[in-house]
Amino acid sequence: MYQQPRYLPPQPQSWLIPNILLTIFCCNILGVFGIIFSAFSRSSWTRGDVHGARNWARVAALTFWLCLIATVIFIAATIEFEDGTVSWGFNVGQTEEVRLK
């Protein structure tokens, strides 16, 4: 009996590389979860579970963007601009100041 080959849509982007880069360069722990979800997406695709691969890819993308937004907010919260100076860090202790010209 002849079976026609199954049509598979293109593999969804798993967001593995962006999540790895975000975890390395931004030191954000949420990126680890993004890497895990990306791996779930790839393994679902390998098993032939197209629906599961798409769902895990969406979760990995959401984790990537949330991680990126959290990093930007954290950086913005730790930089203060006052009187032409840039203060790095929270006002808990001593901060380093750089004069803007």
Mean pLDDT, residues 50-68: 94
Element at 34 (helix H, strand E): helix 30-47
CA distance 50 to 70: 30
User: What pLDDT is attached to residue 4?
Assistant: 59
Mean pLDDT, residues 40-55: 93
User: What pLDDT is attached to residue 88?
Assistant: 61
Instruction: Look up residue 68 and give its two tokens.
Output: 């990126």
Element at 39 (helix H, strand E): helix 30-47
Give me the percent of the chain exceeding a pLDDT of 90. Answer: 47
